Amino acid sequence: MKNHYSRTILLSMAVGFAWLCAGYTTAAAVNDIVAGVDREYPLLEQLYHHLHSHPELSLQEEKTSARIAQELRAAGFEVTENVGGHGVGGVLRNGKGPTVMVRTDMEALPIKEETGLSCASKVETQNDQGRTVGVMHACGHDVHMTVFTGVARLMSKMRGRWQGVLVMIGQPAEEVGLGAKAMLADGLFERFARPNYMLGLHIMPDLPTGTVGYAEGYAMASVDEVYITVRGVGGHGAMPHKTKDPVVIAAQIVLALQTIVSREISALEPAVVTVGQIHGGTKCNIIPDEVKMDITVRTYSEQVREHILSAIKRISEGIAAAAGVGKDRLPIVYVRDNPCPAVYNTPELVKRVNKGIEGILGSENITAVAPMMGGEDFAHYRYQNPSIPSYYFFIGATAPERIEQSKKTKIPLPGLHTSRVAPVAEPTIKTGIKAMTAAVLDLMGPKED
């Protein structure tokens, strides 16, 4: 009864003391987070500049992962490197309690930077095709790693306020959809600790700095890559009647694929089928033997996903057959065997964590955002472990006045995966650290004497 009476008094003081979620984290803890972020930020900004100016492509994150491992060790974590490639796992044990996993991605993109920042990347490297390409953190992974490091430092220094096991995961190869699966296949949860909760975040240029965006349930789409080889019978461009023209067949397939979403899928089910590449032929007067097409498919529902993939094969083969192509020359339809599942945010966890984020940022600075058709391989962690609650939220990365100017002028802001995207470092990083630390601290519960 005494404990119940004390809890009642504490809850009645919630507004005055800016409680976070479930009564676990008091105003004193909030003050510790804010002070810790301000104290750590100068060194974290240096880390951000280093990461931004030294990007590495997917599957090449050797130096980046070594730096993340170094940062985790300095914060007092037990660190294991080379998990599923260049993956890094850090564990901080602090008594009995929940196990919480926080994940960051690490690699950059093959884009030449044009931001004009003082720390702009000048890195060039060879891609998988042997071409020289510029390399840039155009998807915010440098911000994510800096936030990740800040959270590790604060949680280590605040061990008197929580108990449990904190697992920090530095994941490679997110952009190519390979990193999460590789780390899981390398025994991620068996080698470290199976989490009770899984958390991640991403910058969002459409959101103003200082804010957090969230979606309950589906937040990001599954991603499939489909490759079609349309086969025909080549010949002279002046004598098409002696050929089976794969260019014409491919053109008909492109148009027909658009009817899958518009005529075969419910209007209430989000789905996208985009033909991103089509290549065929060498000269205007030569009809080629084949044309290649690359397609991306985005869905939330597994049932819709399977229907679309089946329909792509059915339509492609049907159009080719209608053009008179024999059974031995029907299109080859290949679905890459590494689908990225849809990101699903456990609604109960979203509600709980959001209360904690509101406690440190203010309710006016956390807002619902529409689910998007972009993909994220963070989804693999829950897809292979559906019983574990997970939450992937977004942090604003653009000055509010720039967003307002964009709305007035109708000139779009530089988006992710573009050469001019440039998050405003300080408020973005500080907001990310505050939000994620509040979330983790809340899930860990109070430190018991």
Please say if the pLDDT value at position 16 is more than 60.
no
Q: Is residue 8 part of a domain?
A: no
Domain end marker among 307, 335, 363: 335
For helices 141-157 and 425-444, what crossing angle results, to 10°?
50
Domain co-membership, 46 together with 171: yes
16 or 120, greater pLDDT? 120
User: How many Å apart are CA 175 and CA 6, to the nearest integer?
Assistant: 49
- The whole-chain average pLDDT of the chain stands at 93
With a pLDDT cut of 70, the percent of the chain lying above it is 94
- Identify the CATH number of the domain in which residue 203 sits: 3.40.630.10
Per-residue pLDDT at 12 exceeds 70: no
Amino acid at 23: G
Of 335, 367, 400, which residue sits at a domain end? 335
Range 419-439 average pLDDT: 98
Name the domain boundary from 335, 363, 394. 335
Q: Are residues 99 and 216 in the same domain?
A: yes
pLDDT > 60? residue 196: yes
For residues 93 and 167, what is the distance between their CA atoms, to the nearest angstrom? Answer: 9
pLDDT at residue 306, rounded to an integer: 97
CB atoms under 10 Å from CB of 72, counted, come to 26
How far is 327 from 231, CA to CA, in rounded Å? 11
Looking at the structure, do residues 194 and 243 belong to the same domain, yes or no? no
Q: Identify the pLDDT of residue 127.
A: 85
Report the predicted TM-score, pTM, of the whole model to 2 decimal places: 0.91
Q: What is the dihedral of CA 49, 50, 54, 55, to 10 degrees?
A: -60
Q: Looking at the predicted structure, is the pLDDT value of residue 429 above 60? A: yes
Average pLDDT, integer, range 419-436: 98
- Which pLDDT score, from 0 to 100, does residue 13 have? 32
pLDDT tens digits, 249-303:
999 999 999 999 999 999 999 999 999 999 999 999 999 999 999 999 999 999 9
- Which band of pLDDT confidence, cut at 50, 70 and 90, is reported for residue 140? very high
Give me the pLDDT at residue 183, please: 98
- Specify whether 56 is located in the same domain as 192: yes
Supply the range of the domain harboring residue 227.
222-335
DSSP state of 338: -
Q: How many domains does the chain have?
A: 2
Distance CA 152, CA 150 (A): 5
* Residue 9 clears pLDDT 70, i.e. is over it: no
Averaged pLDDT, 73-77: 98
| Domain contains 59 | yes
List pLDDT tens digits, range 359-412.
999 999 999 999 999 999 999 999 999 999 999 999 999 999 999 999 999 999
Task: Please indicate, yes or no, whether residues 144 and 98 belong to a single structural domain of this protein.
Answer: yes
Q: Inform me whether the pLDDT recorded for 188 exceeds 90.
A: yes
Range in 17-31, 56-70, 285-299 with the lowest mean pLDDT? 17-31
Higher pLDDT, residue 237 or 27: 237
Give mean pLDDT, residues 236-254.
98
Q: Given a cut of 90, is residue 445 above it in pLDDT?
A: no
